[in-house]
Amino acid sequence: MALSIAHSVYRIPVQVGDSLDVILVSRHAESSVELLKDASTWSPTTLRPMRYLQARWLSVLAESLGTSYHAVFRGTHAALATIIVGLIAWIANPRRWADVVALGIALTVLIGLHTFDAMMREAFPVNHYAEVAAAALFVLGSSLRPHRLISEIVVLLALVWGLLLIESAGLIWIVIVTCAALRMPGMRTRTAVMATVVLALFFIARWQLEISTPGIGSHSSGWGGGVLSGDELAARFSTNPWPFYAYNVSGGALSLLASEPRFGMYQLLAAQAAGSLNPVVTINLVSSLGMTVVLIICCWSAMRRPFHQWSLETKTLATGIVVITVSAVLCAAYIKDDIISTAGVLYAVMAYLAVQWALGRLETGMRDTSVVALALCLALVAPLWGFRAVGTHYELRRVAFTTRNDWALKSVNVLAGGDSASRDDVARTGRLRGEALRQRVTSPTFLPDWGERYWVE
Amino acid sequence: MSSRTLFVTYLGLPACVVALVGVWSTLSNPSGGWVWPPDRVTISEAVATGDYAEVMRLMESGVDPNLAASVRADLLGGSPVQLTPAQAAVRARNAQMLRILLDGGVIVGPSRLAVLKCINDENGDRDVRALLDAIPSGPLPPCDQVTIP
């Protein structure tokens, strides 16, 4: 599964939007230190210098190796997809056939989730959310194992890297602190303290640089069965934003647990208004709700014991619940799939534990009515998640087509920034465009027609 | 085999299928795909499917956009057909693609223009019509005297 998802990700050319400009700008500075200083002041609402630094380092790497930008940028993204799958297998650590089956289902949950699709379809020029998700998984995995100094160092470095990349990396800190609070063997209190110091320094730097957080109206957002523009949101909620925040927080959690809403819009309501419902909405809703029900029963069964009796599996489930909750809160001002993508990978880990637990119940109580209900639920959702996982590949092929076409509709000079573009910018843009055009992709015309109704929301 | 083992195997089956099909399609992709459709198309097929990037790639790699190329069945009709890229663009009612072809050096003489206009009369796209009308030409034969591919 890791191989095929990496292949689907690698087929997507480097994007024009969110990537080309970053790659070009990252090379304007004389040095990485100068870029770090400059990039820290470019945005009034974000502190993401690492975005530019890693774009610079990867483009320099491509040039020094004499390989294509595509190989380096897309290769990094594909490697991240593989690493995320590998980290989940590392955390799962399957030992029996039933564990392997549970892991298989968990990986279809991971790949089939719309939040994973969001991490794979876009790059800036590497997907930052995928980096945060991989770091969060590493923190969790190393917490489950005996403490090692090298893991502790890597965890802190990942936090520093992540925070300078995107604000969602605060979730790495959440995982560190939660694992320490739950007294997991690989996470020391001192690590949590150092991580908290790092986070505090990050906020102090933001304050020093007068970086604010974006408010309501900076983005359009779903509301009920439709979408409100930034202006409409500002007009409706600027005096009292709490209903909007509450709507988004609940929507963020539900988006993961029930695949509804998407970007704040409830497709069931939209379908009701339009008079037609695509099967994809039903498939996603049933598969997500089914898995969430199994998860809730598993969590309820495991967590009603006193804390000192909690197993590592129970603590992992608790960590997942914390990450999902905090991710939902992060959606308060702006809800989108990417923001809950780290919670999505934790959801897949929780799905593994829940299926593993359910299969264990089958061994002991096949005659119990609740166990039969659990088995029927799993029997329904396992094929649905497999179907959704194939849909992610379908989606990524469509994305590859549109991404490649973006390079064709404008000239190299226009893409590079027009008359103000330097010769280096034009040369790099020309090279990126040439690589994108040489990347063969399949036109959606040749993909099965029914795929849109069953896989595309 | 116990009913539990059978059930567990059933649960694992979708993931196994996804994994095996994924590996197979990845390995077979360079030779034309298996699960996923092939990514090799003629220039006229690229035009017919709105594949701007492939059209640009083919033209930049030296493919003559004035020559007819095969278009497989079900893209622009029920059966395979030989069309020039410009004819494919008009049939697909894609004015933006036609503009790219014209900018890219497609030569439209009077006889070719007559064919294009007659194809467009069948389809009736206003933007395509405007582009074709902007191409200077003398008097053109009526459509009943023009052979439309």
Q: What does the pLDDT read at residue B33? A: 58
What mean pLDDT comes out for the span A269-286?
89
Closest to A108 (Cα-Cα) out of A390, A397, A396: A390
pLDDT of residue A365: 66
Residues of B in contact with A401 (CB under 8 A): 51
Tell me the pairing of strands B81-83 and B69-71.
antiparallel
Written in H, E and C, the secondary structure of A148-216 is CHHHHHHHHHHHHHHHCCCHHHHHHHHHHHHHHHCCCCCCCHHHHHHHHHHHHHHHHHHHHCCCCCCCC
**Does pLDDT of A90 surpass 90?**
yes
Which of A219-228, A445-454, B15-24, B46-55: highest mean pLDDT?
B46-55
Structure tokens at A105: 């289902």
Residue A75: name the closest of A118, A25, A125, A134 by CA: A125
Label residue A387 by pLDDT band (50, 70, 90): very high
pLDDT at A47 over 80: yes
Average pLDDT over residues A402-423: 91
Chain A, 70-99: which have a CB under 8 Å from a chain B CB? 97-98
- Do A379 and B22 make contact, defined as CB atoms within 8 angstroms? no
Predicted confidence at residue A419, as pLDDT, reads: 85
The pLDDT score that the predictor gives to residue A138 is: 97
Q: What's the token pair of residue B130?
A: 């405007």
- Banded pLDDT at A44 (limits 50, 70, 90): confident
What is chain A's mean pLDDT, rounded? 92
Residues A50 and A165: beta-carbon distance below 8 Å = yes
Q: What is the pLDDT of residue B37?
A: 75
Q: The dihedral of CA A328, A342, A382, A278: what is its sign?
A: positive
Between A141 and A373, the more confident residue is A141
Binned at pLDDT 50, 70 and 90, residue A199 comes out as: very high
Contacts with A385 from chain B: Cβ below 8 Å: 14
Closest Cβ–Cβ partner in A98, A386, A438 for B18: A386
Please state, in angstroms and rounded to a whole number, the distance separating the CA atoms of residues B140 and A137.
69
Does B107 touch chain A if contact means CB atoms closer than 8 Å? no
pLDDT digits (tens, 9 = 90+) for A121-136: 999 999 999 999 999 9
Question: Long-range contacts made by residues B27-35, C-beta under 8 angstroms, separation at least 24?
Answer: B29/A7, B33/A442
What B20-23 contacts at long range (C-beta under 8 Å, 24+ apart), as own/partner pairs, is B21/A4, B21/A390, B22/A1, B22/A3, B22/A4, B22/A5, B22/A7, B22/A393, B23/A3, B23/A4
Residue A33 C-alpha, separation from nearest chain B C-alpha, in angstroms = 37
Among A362-366, B56-60, B94-98, which is the least confidently predicted range? Answer: A362-366
Within 10 angstroms of residue A380's Cβ, the number of other Cβ atoms is 13
Say what percent of chain A tops pLDDT 90: 72
| Best-predicted range by mean pLDDT (A90-99, A361-370, B17-26, B32-41) | A90-99
Cα–Cα dist B63/B66, whole Å? 9
**Which position has the token pair 């280096």?**
A424
Greatest pairwise CA separation for chain B in angstroms: 83
CB-based contacts of A7, cutoff 8 Å, min separation 6? A78, B22, B26, B29
Identify the three-state secondary structure at position A227: strand
CB A454 within 8 A of CB A391: yes
Q: Report the alpha-carbon distance of residue A405 to residue A64 in Å, rounded.
A: 28
Residues 6+ apart with CB under 8 A from A355: A101, A102, A105, A106, A294, A378, B11
Q: State mean pLDDT over A230-236.
A: 87
Q: How high is the pLDDT of residue B34?
A: 61
Q: What is the percent of chain B with per-residue pLDDT over 70, rounded to a whole number?
A: 94
Element (H, E) at B9: helix B3-28
CA–CA separation, A9 and A12 (whole Å):
6
CB contact (8 A) between residue A105 and residue B57 = no
Q: What is the mean pLDDT of residues A412-434?
A: 92
For residue B66, the 8-state DSSP code is T
Q: Chain B contact for A113, CB < 8 A?
A: no
- Tell whether the model's pLDDT for residue A19 goes beyond 70: yes
Determine whether the interchain pair A387/B53 forms a contact, defined as Cβ–Cβ distance below 8 Å: no
Round to whole Å and give the CA distance between A421 and A40: 23
State the number of CA atoms in the 13 A half-sphere of A304 facing the CB: 5
- What is the percentage of chain A residues whose pLDDT exceeds 70? 99
Residue B32 has pLDDT above 60, yes or no: no
Q: How confident is the model at residue A366 (pLDDT cuts 50, 70, 90)?
A: low
The whole-number pLDDT of residue A163 equals 96
Q: What's the whole-number average pLDDT of chain B?
A: 87
Per-residue pLDDT at A11 exceeds 60:
yes
CB A395, CB A451: distance < 8 Å: no
Query: What band does A140 get if pLDDT is binned at 50, 70 and 90?
Result: very high
A228 bridge partner residues = A221
A335 has a pLDDT exceeding 80? yes
CB contact under 8 A, B15 and A382: yes
What is the pLDDT at residue B46? 95
Q: Residue A101: which of B11, B17, B25 has the nearest Cβ?
A: B11
pLDDT above 60 (res B31): no
Task: Determine whether A120 is exposed, middle or buried from the number of CB atoms within 10 Å of its CB (0-12, 13-18, 19+).
Answer: buried
Q: Which of B64, B70, B124 has its CA nearest to residue B95?
A: B124
Is the Cβ pair B14, A382 closer than 8 Å? yes
Quick: pLDDT tens for A53-74.
Answer: 999 999 999 999 999 999 999 9
Q: What is the mean pLDDT of residues A192-221?
A: 88
pLDDT at A334: 85
The predicted structure's pLDDT at residue B39: 73
d(CA A441, CA A27): 29
Enumerate residues 6+ apart whose C-beta is below 8 A from A28: none
Q: Using a CB-CB distance cutoff of 8 angstroms, which residues of chain A are in contact with residue B75? A: 445
**Which has the minimum average pLDDT: A19-23, A338-342, B108-112?**
B108-112
The complex scores an ipTM of: 0.90
Return the pLDDT at B30.
Answer: 59
Q: Convert A84-137 into a string of H (helix), E (strand) and C (coil).
A: HHHHHHHHHCCCCHHHHHHHHHHHHHHHHCHHHHHHHHCCCCCCHHHHHHHHHH
* Residue ranges of B 25-54 with Cβ closer than 8 A to chain A: 25-26, 29, 33, 36-41, 46, 48-54
